[in-house]
Amino acid sequence: MTASLVALIPIMAFAGTGDVAGDASTGPLMRHGPQTATSALAAADLGRSLALTRIALTHDEAPSMAAPVIADRAAKAVSVRRAVAPAPYRLSSPVGTLDDGAYGWAQDELLLTAAQEAPPAAGAVPPTLPTADPAADADAIDADEALIDDRRRPGIEKKLPDRVTQDNPGAVRAPAPEAFPTDEFPVPDRWRIVTSLCPTKNGDKSIYSLYPNLSNVCRSKLDPYHQNILKGDRPLPEGKRPGFLKEDDWFFVANVISDTVVEPRSFPTPVGVQTTSRPDSLDVFGRADSLVLAQTIIAGVALIKGETTYKPPAIEYRLTLAAQVNHVDVNERRILFVEPSRPTQRTDHFVGIQEAFIDYHLGAYDTSRYDFISLRAGIQPMQADFRGFLFQDNQLGIRLFGNRDNNRFQFNIGAFWRLEKDTNSGLNSVVDSPRDDWVFFANAYRQDFPVVGLTSQVSVTYNMNREGGRELKIDDNGFPVRPALLGDLRSREYDVVYLGYAVDGRIGRINLTGQLYGAFGEDRNSFFTSRKADIRSYFGAAEVSYDYDWARFRLQGLFASGDGDPYNDTEAGFDAIFENPIFAGADTSYWIRQVIPFAGGGRAVGVNTRNGILNNLRSSKEQGQSNFNNPGTVLLGAGADFDLSSTTRLSANLNHLWFHKTDTIEALRQEGTVPSSIGTDVSAALIWRPNANQNLVFRLSGAVFDPSKGFRDLFTQSGKSDLFYSVLFNAILAY
């Protein structure tokens, strides 16, 4: 077969009628020979069975190319042959070239003979090309829309077969699809989804071999170190909760704390006036040694509705009782009892209500960030500032509190009616009438203000005391406590407003805590003048610390103004409402832990109070009144905390104390000059938590107080050691 008899012409199927003129894919072919292309199309439309071959020629080479070259070219371009489908067809576009530069075609081409490519006779009517059936085109599926078996495409659904309807008389109709919801699947709640796999007490434990960590949640209800229902880790089961508890997610929380104190100590102990425990005790001060033993059991229960984490509870009921047995042994009479005939030992016990409140969550004010507002009423804990300088106690009151701005803003608004306290334990006494003493307060906290890392607090606290018209209050040991036995011994009442600003946080690597207070008000009866007096006093405290690896080094300072003129109708000594400072060593410090009797200046009055840092000349922190006629306090010190291990911490503090003004002491003691320096307080404490949590905490601390001139001038003990000590062993066991 020669080149004159054979031509290789590419064609491709049309999708309907169309014109090949101007098509980029057929341009070279049309330039090679339009009649040839027309003949090829006519041959295809007649349905002849031709072989499709991938062969192409350049329009410049075809007229002159020898037959062997064409045959060789055809051999190179041959691809898989297929039967020609019926017309219509459309020519394809070239997608590449062969080795010598000729066009290659993506679709199969038709191989035509010379006779078939010959031009039609003159006057002959060209054959009519059949057109596509419109109905067939409508039913045809575009290749892009076709679905592959076992594959799905979004938005494309297969045509389902016709629905088959069965008619079975007497058969039971299947439940409707709505009876099997697919949007929910019931499982145990998130608290019990794991414990549902726990075996029974005497059951097969082989499941632990499959799930070894399951044993960590399958524990006894009495185990305080793992999840159990008594600690509020899981809600009460529906069948085991009281009927008055409606809805779900009720949690029951029970806790028991054992607090044991063993405290050997020494302090200036006055000798009894009427009689002594030892004959020939002629000095003003006797033996200073004494011993305190105390055992306190705190038991609490709570019922909580809602979540226990993240989202605040919807409502909470809480009751906490405290029972204490204490024993004190001293060496002098009239220290423990007012009667000199009573012994020098005392054992006492008391049960107090420390918490009894309802906390209702105002859910209408919740936000998506779990910001909340709650209302709490009853006996509840309250701390007015970061370190407990002004008011930290459990008292009867009502409080509205909450947060906003993803917890960056917090607030408290409340009022408290102060309960009477038991004399020897300090617990709340609900069997006595509440005091005519009220505390109203409002404070607000803002995080990252004024700089990032610091939290600021502004507060207004109003203490309204109306105990002036009451009779003399005698404590359980027979000592007068209201009014204090100072000055004219008349009853007192007062109004005082505390304006405060506090910061707590860090600036870079420097930790900072600071507190400022100004006290302004009126005392109805100053015990020095028996007249009204204005209250103008100030307070400031700061602690700066730096963390280095496992150690923290601290510097601390405190200033509480003193009254420089007791007779000028202005009381300038600062005093708190009910202080419990976490500062300068807290209750491991000698000066904070022990009470120094103000012997010779007042009866049943201390220079300071137990667990208090201020020199306020009060009869009692728990039962006495605030006194703004006092010498004030100045403290400078340093300390360090060392985390020796994850379970052991060692703390040490060194503080020196002064009176700010000694005029009040000089007037009460009728002395000309009293030096302002009190002494140096050195203390250390070792805390051990064997399980690295708060369930078991053991603390052993010791403090030594070295008096300075001011203290020795007030409490000289001839022939006795000047040093005083305080040792504390404290064991806390919590469930």
pLDDT tens string 265-322: 999 888 876 666 666 666 677 788 999 999 999 999 999 998 767 778 899 999 999 9
Q: How far is CA 310 from the centre of its chain?
A: 8
Which whole number is the average pLDDT over 404-422? 96
Q: What is the dihedral of CA 544, 546, 547, 552, to 10 degrees?
A: -60
231-240, 389-398, 639-648: segment of lowest average pLDDT: 231-240
180-184, 209-213, 538-542, 550-554: segment of lowest average pLDDT: 180-184
pLDDT level of residue 535 (50, 70, 90 thresholds): very high
132-146, 160-174, 483-497, 564-578: segment of lowest average pLDDT: 132-146
| Sign of the alpha-carbon dihedral angle for 27, 33, 35, 37 | negative
DSSP three-state, residue 379? strand
Output the pLDDT for position 109: 45
E-strand spans in 659-723? 677-688, 696-707
Tell me the range of 101-110, 232-241, 572-581, 714-723 where mean pLDDT is highest.
572-581
Output the pLDDT for position 299: 98
Q: What does the alpha-carbon distance between residue 491 and residue 527 come to, in Å, rounded to a whole number?
A: 9
Q: How far is CA 396 from CA 393, 399, 428, 437, 445, in A?
A: 10, 10, 10, 11, 23
Contact 624, 649 (CB under 8 A): no
Domains and CATH numbers, the chain: 6-143 (no CATH), 186-248 (no CATH), 249-734 (2.40.160.100)
Q: What is the DSSP string of 515-563?
A: EEEEEEEEES--TTTSS-EEEEEEEEEEEEEEEETTEEEEEEEEEE---
- Cβ-based neighbours of 227, under 8 Å, separated by 6 or more: 191, 195, 217, 219, 233, 234
Residue 579 has pLDDT above 90, yes or no: yes
Which whole number is the average pLDDT over 560-580? 95
Residue 724 has pLDDT above 90, yes or no: yes
Which whole number is the average pLDDT over 710-720? 78
Q: Which of 435, 441, 468 is CA-nearest to residue 457? A: 441
Output the pLDDT for position 149: 72
Q: What does the alpha-carbon distance between residue 277 and residue 329 come to, in Å, rounded to a whole number?
A: 12
Residue 111 has pLDDT above 60, yes or no: no
Q: What does the alpha-carbon distance between residue 89 and residue 109 come to, in Å, rounded to a whole number?
A: 10
Output the pLDDT for position 623: 94
Output the pLDDT for position 20: 44
Residue 205 has pLDDT above 80, yes or no: yes
Longest Cα pair distance anywhere in the chain, in angstroms? 161
Please state the three-class secondary structure of 176-241 as a single string: CHHHCCCCCCCCCCCCCCCHHHCCCCCCCCCHHHHCHHHHHCCCCCCCCCCCCCCECCCCCCHHHC
Parallel/antiparallel/unpaired status of strands 533-548 and 6-9: unpaired
What are the φ and ψ backbone dihedral angles of 350, each rounded to 5 degrees?
-165, 150
Which whole number is the average pLDDT over 594-617? 90
Tell me the range of 181-195, 464-478, 587-601, 643-657 where mean pLDDT is highest.
643-657
Number of Cβ within 10 Å of residue 267's Cβ equals 22
- Cβ-based neighbours of 171, under 8 Å, separated by 6 or more: none
The length of the chain is 735
Tell me the range of 207-211, 277-281, 687-691 where mean pLDDT is highest.
687-691
Output the pLDDT for position 672: 83
- Cβ-based neighbours of 598, under 8 Å, separated by 6 or more: 605, 606, 607, 617, 668
Output the pLDDT for position 717: 66
> What is the residue-averaged pLDDT of the chain?
82
pLDDT tens string 34-57: 444 444 444 444 444 443 333 344
Instruction: Please give the DSSP secondary-structure letter assigned to residue 511.
Output: E
Which whole number is the average pLDDT over 72-92? 45
DSSP three-state, residue 508? coil
More confident residue, 129 or 636: 636
Output the pLDDT for position 72: 55
pLDDT level of residue 88 (50, 70, 90 thresholds): very low
Q: What does the alpha-carbon distance between residue 128 and residue 88 come to, in Å, rounded to a whole number?
A: 12
Tell me the range of 92-101, 165-174, 217-226, 347-356 where mean pLDDT is highest.
347-356
Percentage above 90 pLDDT, the chain: 53
Q: How far is CA 241 from the centre of its chain?
A: 29
